Structure 1
Amino acid sequence: MHQDDRHLLSSSFGAAAAAYAEHRPDYAQTAVRWALEHAPGPRVLDLGAGTGKLTATLLALGAEVIAVEPDPAMLAELRRTLPAVRALPGSAEAIPLADASVDAVLAGNAMHWFDMDVAGPEMARVLAPAGVLAGLWNVMDDQVDWVAGLASVSGSAAIGPRDTPVSWRAETADMHRPKSGAAAQFRTPEQGEFPHGQRRTADSLVATLATRAGMLVMPAQEQQAAQRRIRAYLADRPETASGEFTLPMRTCVLRVRRPKPSSTAPPDEQTRAETSFGRVPSGTPIV
């Protein structure tokens, strides 16, 4: 994606901040626990935090969260809904935190907007030794027939390249690496998928899809046509025609770690995150 296009799309969310907060899903707790499994402590930066969807999940798991968000409207919505959270203006390319000040950096549906040539060293800078970087994406589960059909009628503006389990792995496998060819700041990546879902109606699902970046910058006439196609499709499907339904989803995670320092950390430092966040049940991730 060209840098100008990335900036246009990534800056489109502020106009829909209230709708984003109302309609976007949260993140599967099992996915967030897995993302944090090897973090050396409880201090977590939610980077590109938006309106606080991931922030709220982190708080529920007992993390000490700092949220950083570049869009003023999104940041204001986060501060309104989560007033106790330390929420700062900033970006992945200019993080307003001190060196080695957090144990994990998480980005919910945001890492694909980062300029990793700049953001990679920045995230490594604020991470403690052996700290964890993880990107999380909520994607529609197109292994379910009616969801696969929804993806086909919605069009690429509503369903992007990372928005189904079939494609997210290839799209995100090297997302933590600088595009310039410089050495990565992190170790070998791991990927996991975790079942998730969101209760929706036809109206609320259309409203959810309308918060996607591609839809937000689409001309009004094209956006209305896409919404009509989606409504007609949902009205014809037995799974969705009768009113409220669960949209099958997965929370997908890309997890990488900073190299450990040469000296071995004390055992209590190595295990502190596991006692803080809990362990994911064996066999949960699909890796």
Structure 2
Amino acid sequence: MPDSAPNTGDRAPRPVPGLPSRAFTMDSTRRRELATAFKVGGAHYDAVRPNYPDAALAFMLPAAARDAVDVGAGTGIFTAQLLALGLNVTAVEPSSDMLEVLRVRLPEVQDKAGTGEETGLEESSTDVITYAQAWHWVDPKAASAEAARVLRPHGQLALVWNQFDVSVPWVHRLARIMHAGDVHRPDFVPPLGPEFHTPESGSWTWELPMSPEQVIELAKSRSYYLRAGAATRARVEHNLSWYLYDHLGHTPGEPFALPYLTHAWRARLRAA
């Protein structure tokens, strides 16, 4: 996976039509309802979701960090990358199905069943708290307060999302067919509580080789598909098959380059 230098705002955001700004506008009831999609399917999720660029991790982590907490850790995709950097990592995840996969994959990692709002961790016990593809599943105000409680003085909260690079027109259409709800506008800034300084951001573009079949399986790991009925699922699969094979002309089983964009934010804890 090629890395590039972060885009820290020196260039104007690329215009992208039709992107929603709904990720943080839903109420807590709706957020919990959507999150139930991930109570099952951990093994499938682990098989189809990509890693994150090394440059994003370097941007997110304080140089002197020894201990990290990965909240919304899922099956441990980002957790494993933190562990590979030599950090002492604790994974927090509400889904027991996801945790079962994580425990098999990373038996050396301490894990806890918990949420961003209630991690169950000790006060001032870590240097950095990370959220990979997960901050939109929490109440930002409550999760910020919990992160501030768990972080040591001068600790850091770090958020990251992998998303399709929808500045590429054919990818934008693919994201709409897949109902990829984690695609943000170029000017998006995640909401944080007053416990943290204004977040700094970085972004990286890269490409992931995927076959059409793998893209369809990726669509099946998203909350829209997981919560849908049989008819809606069949329609999504049919539309994707038509778009990938008939419209774009991809060959079954043959990988093609799928453009990705990774956005990361880091925010320092304010002094008490």
TM-score normalised by length of structure 1: 0.81
Q: What letter corresponds to residue 56 of structure 2 in structure 1?
A: A
CA shift in 2, pair 1:71/1:89, >3 Å: same
**Residue 253 (structure 1) aligned with residue 264 (structure 2):** yes
Q: Is the 8 A contact 1:111 1:175 kept in 2?
A: no
Per-residue CA shift, 1:14-47, capped at 9, x if unaligned? Answer: 22111101001111111011011x3542211000
Q: What letter corresponds to residue 43 of structure 2 in structure 1?
A: A
1:135 to 150, 159, 176: 159
2:246 to 233, 236, 242: 236
Q: Is the 8 A contact 2:141 2:192 kept in 1?
A: no
Q: Quote how far apart the aligned CAs of 1:101 are.
A: 0.6
Q: Quote how far apart the aligned CAs of 1:246 are.
A: 2.5
**Residue 187 (structure 1) aligned with residue 197 (structure 2):** yes
Per-residue CA shift, 1:96-140, capped at 9, x if unaligned? Answer: 211111000000100011112322111101101111101110010
**Residue 59 (structure 1) aligned with residue 79 (structure 2):** no
**Residue 219 (structure 1) aligned with residue 229 (structure 2):** yes
CA shift in 2, pair 1:10/1:39, >3 Å: farther
SS state at 2:264 partner: strand
In structure 1, the partner of 2:144 is: 120
CA shift in 2, pair 1:148/1:241, >3 Å: farther
2:60 to 22, 26, 35: 35
In structure 2, the partner of 1:23 is: 48
In structure 1, the partner of 2:192 is: 176
In structure 2, the partner of 1:98 is: 122
Q: Quote how far apart the aligned CAs of 1:168 are.
A: 5.5
SS state at 2:191 partner: coil
**Residue 208 (structure 1) aligned with residue 222 (structure 2):** no
Query: Using the alignment, how far apart are the partners of 1:64 and 1:85 within structure 2?
Result: 8
Per-residue CA shift, 1:137-160, capped at 9, x if unaligned? Answer: 001011223212312433xxx211
CA shift in 2, pair 1:168/1:64, >3 Å: farther
Q: Please, which runs of 5 or more residues in structure 2 have no aligned partner? A: 1-25
Q: Quote how far apart the aligned CAs of 1:238 are.
A: 5.1
Q: Is the 8 A contact 2:70 2:130 kept in 1?
A: yes
Q: Quote how far apart the aligned CAs of 1:201 are.
A: 1.2
CA shift in 2, pair 1:63/1:168, >3 Å: farther
Aligned pair count?
246
CA shift in 2, pair 1:153/1:174, >3 Å: closer
**Residue 8 (structure 1) aligned with residue 29 (structure 2):** no
Query: Using the alignment, how far apart are the partners of 2:180 and 2:259 within structure 1?
Result: 14
In structure 1, the partner of 2:180 is: 159
Q: Is the 8 A contact 1:169 1:191 kept in 2?
A: no
Q: Is the 8 A contact 1:129 1:260 kept in 2?
A: yes
Per-residue CA shift, 1:145-192, capped at 9, x if unaligned? Answer: 3212312433xxx211x315xx1542xx14223xxxxxx110011111
SS state at 1:246 partner: strand
CA shift in 2, pair 1:128/1:168, >3 Å: farther
SS state at 1:12 partner: helix
Name segments (4+ residues, structure 1) moved above 3 Å: 236-242
Q: Is the 8 A contact 1:135 1:254 kept in 2?
A: yes
CA RMSD of aligned residues (A): 1.8
SS state at 2:136 partner: helix
TM-score normalised by length of structure 2: 0.85
CA shift in 2, pair 1:32/1:5, >3 Å: same
CA shift in 2, pair 1:186/1:58, >3 Å: same
